[in-house]
Copies of this chain bind each other. A is one copy, B any other.
Amino acid sequence: MKTPAIFQKYRRDVDEKIKFIIHDHNSELYKMMEYHLGWLDVNGNSVRDNSGKAMRPALCLFSCEALNGDINGAQWAAAALELTHNFSLILDDVQDDDRERRHRPTVWAIWGKPQAINAGTAMHILSSYALAQMKTCGVSFQKQLQAYQKLDEITLNLIEGQYLDISYEDKFDITVKDYIKMIELKTAALISGSMEIGAAFASEDETVTSNFKDMGKYLGLAFQIKDDILGIWGNQNETGKSSGSDIRRHKKSFPIVYALENAPERLKNELVTIYANKRMSEDNVNRILEILDEVNARESAQKFVETFCDNAKNNFGNLQLGQSAKSDMNDVIEFMAGRNY
């Protein structure tokens, strides 16, 4: 499965914008951000770029260009979206006690949780600093304000989703519906908002921008459930997570929630008993993998992914776009359904 072209296309420009914002400040605090973004090693030396997919800024700029918008202002919004995503990852690792991300120690694992909270909070503010640069691109005051408010709305959704996710940790009566509500906030809101913001830089037509918004929502839902599949059955070399990884971390990801709702009473009880126990042995992990197999959790999850991708395709079909935009978007949708990393 090849990475969609748009994930590469805008990457350098967005990275440059983010570097401009971060390098405008001078304190060790910002080194933590550069480390997290994969630009520096722990000693502050430059390393070969090791950062994530930069999917959100790519979808933002794609949406703007697909509607023939001027991407100069949108590039700053794209940088802000990537900073928002990354500040949430820094805090997420603190909250989940995760010591590793993208094959490297997390920020808190190196600098401690108190300083990682500072790095995350400061990066959150830098996403606003990126938006403030829109003024250099002739974006109207009103449009600038709209971008601030949209980003705040999305980010608040993200935090509400994170709140739900953590509150589910102690619960075993969560349904697939609850779960989807949670990831709609935690994951889909930012992806959806990325496409909506990008489109809004090109079009004032609300039917158009809300089509992009919905498309992003479905892509986001598909993305998260695919992520959940990979978090259990993914290949360690490709995903950076070992197989069964999310089970070992007691994560209540989609396949587990699906099993909790659909497994026969006996299997459900077994699953609850294992998950409720703080210690998880390798035998426990294997038994859970068996239970997930018995209820076809993997296939059902993949079916959800594909349904959401179909929904995204429908939204896309409603729009009058050029051939090249159509082909790029099809690649993205195929990637969401078929990726193995």
Contact = CB atoms under 8 A, between A and B. Distances in A.
Interface string A124-144: 111011001001000011101
A207 interface: no
A120 to B, nearest CB: 8
B156 A125 contact: yes
Contact of A115 (B120, B128, B142, B167): B167
Nearest to A129: B152
A171 to B, nearest CB: 13
Interface stretch (A6-14, A88-96, A267-275, A320-328): A88-96
Interface string A228-247: 00000000000000000000
Contacts of A95: 113-114, 117-118
Contact of A114 (B29, B120, B132, B166): B166
A162 B118 contact: yes
B118 A159 contact: yes
A29 B125 contact: no
Interface string A162-185: 111011000000000000000000
9 contacts: A28-B163, A29-B160, A95-B118, A115-B166, A128-B149, A129-B156, A132-B145, A132-B152, A144-B145
A112 to B, nearest CB: 8
A117 to B, nearest CB: 6
Contacts of A156: 25, 122, 125-126, 129
A26 to B, nearest CB: 10
A148 interface: yes
B152 A118 contact: no
A124 to B, nearest CB: 7
A45 interface: no
Contacts of A277: none
Contacts of A135: 145
A124 B121 contact: yes
B114 A159 contact: no
A281 interface: no
A183 B171 CA distance: 43
Residue of A27, A159, A160 with most chain B CB atoms under a 10 A cut-off: A159
Nearest to A156: B125
Interface in A90-108: 91, 94-96
Contacts of A152: 125, 128-129, 132
Nearest to A112: B166
A155 to B, nearest CB: 6
A125 B87 CA distance: 13
A204 to B, nearest CB: 17
Residue of A113, A117, A152, A155 with most chain B CB atoms under a 10 A cut-off: A117
Contacts of A142: 141
Nearest to A152: B128
A159 B128 contact: no
Contacts of A27: 160, 163-164
Contacts of A162: 118
A148 B167 contact: no
Contact of A159 (B29, B129, B144, B148): B29
A222 to B, nearest CB: 25
